[in-house]
């Protein structure tokens, strides 16, 4: 007969076993300090309860739920989707969501646009770049009113494509709540910390982190350390997921254990004037409530919001020669019906080592079927060392040439190549298969750099049929001294 002595946790102990037959067992805590309040993993079947016993055992929808709660399913995929792609969660809440709506009235957020945006941009075709937009000094701008659409792509009603937004926020949402029926939101802070109080738990993020709020999940945004500024990708298409690694194998890139989903949390607020706002097919609708809709006491499933620390990204890259394709830096992808062609890729350019030999180390010059919207969270982007600032943006659309500016080209071409660590950098890209249409708001911003195409004007002709490879470096070195 064996007894157990437990250092942590609960279990039954055989008090009658002889002492020489007792076994000392150490049980791990449920979470580590860095992820306290969250459950690690990506796409897991989670379960969490804010009140012990609130989750039914062995079934989803009992005749009478514990604590007088209602059972409600939130489906992020069709019922008949393959099990590997089927996404749903069961929520146990004070009121079903039919009580979290009312007589809707149409409201307007005129600078939040959806695809296809019928307002034609006055800008001619070409590469575009913007300086950071100053944060307003007025104290009454919440996350919804502070969101501005820069580009749209695809069709919101066909559930394809996306929109790229910026946000600037100076106050919390208070008694307003929101959910997006058009798509999921990927939020990338650049300044300030925000709290996303969702119906499935609380997510806090700041610069260097991202949050993803699935389609249909209710939430409000609180300012923790403000004001705040950042970027938002509104994904109309297939839900974001981790990309396949292929020959890379089982590790690196964004490891699933580093994604964090919040534990259950709820508001018990009755008799207060609240408002639920819904975005549906590009339009906004609001209804008055007398209670908070964030009333989920427990839930289980695999359709839930999450956060990710971008500094946990484990990049891979070339270790002998040439610059690899930027797809090796994909954090999350929204696949399309065409294999290998993304509805959206979220791509990160983090600090990393450059070690290739006898190679041009910055990104090469390029024309691409995909369209690229870039932002900078901190530091400097190596292909554009001047003029691309944290909080700024650039757009290189489908089949428009782009690449390093003249200064980056000549410096990289003349550099003495030794192992070099890129630090002080954190850039990202929203890349899509669809051409991105610039909104009127973005086209008329005073931060638009009208002279941006001039960054390539310093690229000279160096072709000389009488000169073979190996002698050009001295010519380029001479050019740098001019």
Catalytic center residues:
323
Assess whether the previous peptide bond of 313 is cis (omega < 30° from 0). no
Report yes or no: 171 and 199 within 8 Å, Cβ to Cβ.
no
The dihedrals phi and psi of 35, each to the nearest 5 degrees, come to -120, 25
Distance CA 301, CA 342 (A): 26
Assess whether the previous peptide bond of 227 is cis (omega < 30° from 0). yes
Distance CA 239, CA 32 (A): 28
**Six-digit token string for 105:** 């009235």
Residue among 118, 122, 109 at smallest CA distance from 165 = 109
In this structure, how many other beta carbons lie within 10 angstroms of the beta carbon of residue 4? 14
Report yes or no: 150 and 393 within 8 Å, Cβ to Cβ.
yes
Q: What contacts 69, CB < 8 A, 6 or more positions away?
A: 54, 92, 93, 94, 297, 298
What DSSP designation does 243 have? P
Distance CA 209, CA 196 (A): 13
Report yes or no: 37 and 262 within 8 Å, Cβ to Cβ.
yes
**Six-digit token string for 166:** 């910026």
């Amino acid at each position: 007969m064996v007894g157990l002595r437990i250092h942590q946790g609960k279990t039954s102990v055989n008090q009658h076993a002889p002492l020489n037959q007792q076994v000392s067992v150490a049980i791990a805590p449920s979470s580590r300090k860095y992820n306290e309040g969250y459950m690690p993993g990506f796409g897991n079947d989670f379960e969490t309860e804010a009140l012990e016993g609130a989750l039914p055992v062995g079934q989803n929808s009992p005749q009478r739920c514990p604590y007088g709660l209602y059972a409600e399913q939130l489906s992020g995929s069709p019922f008949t989707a393959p099990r590997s792609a089927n996404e749903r969660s069961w929520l146990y809440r004070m009121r079903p969501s039919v009580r979290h709506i009312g007589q809707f009235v149409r409201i307007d957020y005129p600078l939040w646009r959806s695809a296809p945006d019928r307002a034609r941009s006055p800008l001619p075709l070409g590469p575009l770049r913007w300086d950071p937009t100053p944060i307003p000094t007025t104290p009454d701008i919440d996350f919804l009113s502070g969101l501005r659409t820069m580009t749209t792509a695809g069709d919101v009603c066909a559930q394809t494509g996306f929109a790229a937004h910026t946000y600037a926020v100076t106050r919390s949402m208070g008694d307003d709540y929101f959910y997006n029926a058009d798509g999921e939101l990927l939020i990338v802070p650049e300044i300030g910390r925000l709290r996303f109080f969702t119906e499935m738990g609380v997510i806090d993020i700041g610069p260097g982190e991202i949050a993803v709020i699935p389609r249909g999940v209710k939430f409000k945004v609180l300012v923790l350390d403000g004001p705040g500024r950042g970027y938002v990708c509104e994904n109309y298409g297939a839900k974001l997921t981790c990309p396949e690694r292929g020959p890379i194998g089982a590790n690196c890139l964004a490891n699933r254990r580093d994604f964090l989903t919040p534990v259950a949390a709820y508001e018990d607020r009755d008799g207060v004037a609240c408002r639920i706002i819904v975005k549906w097919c590009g339009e906004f609708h609001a209804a008055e409530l007398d209670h908070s809709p964030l009333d989920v006491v427990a839930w289980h499933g695999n359709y839930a919001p999450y956060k990710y620390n971008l500094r946990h990204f484990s990049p891979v890259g070339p270790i002998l020669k040439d610059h690899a394709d930027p797809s090796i830096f994909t954090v999350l992808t929204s696949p399309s019906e065409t294999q290998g062609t993304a509805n959206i890729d979220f791509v990160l350019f983090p600090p990393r080592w450059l070690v290739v030999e006898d190679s041009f180390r910055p990104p090469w010059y390029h024309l691409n079927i995909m369209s690229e919207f870039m932002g900078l969270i901190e530091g400097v982007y190596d292909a554009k060392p001047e003029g691309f600032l944290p909080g700024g943006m650039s757009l290189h659309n489908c089949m428009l040439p782009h690449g390093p500016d003249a200064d980056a080209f000549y410096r990289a071409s003349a550099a003495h190549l030794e192992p070099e660590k890129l630090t002080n950098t954190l850039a990202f890209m929203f890349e899509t298969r669809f051409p991105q249409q610039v909104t009127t708001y973005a086209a008329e911003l005073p931060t638009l750099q009208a002279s941006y195409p001039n960054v390539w004007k310093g690229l000279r002709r160096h072709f000389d049929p009488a000169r073979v490879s190996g002698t050009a470096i001295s010519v380029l070195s001479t050019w740098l001294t001019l």
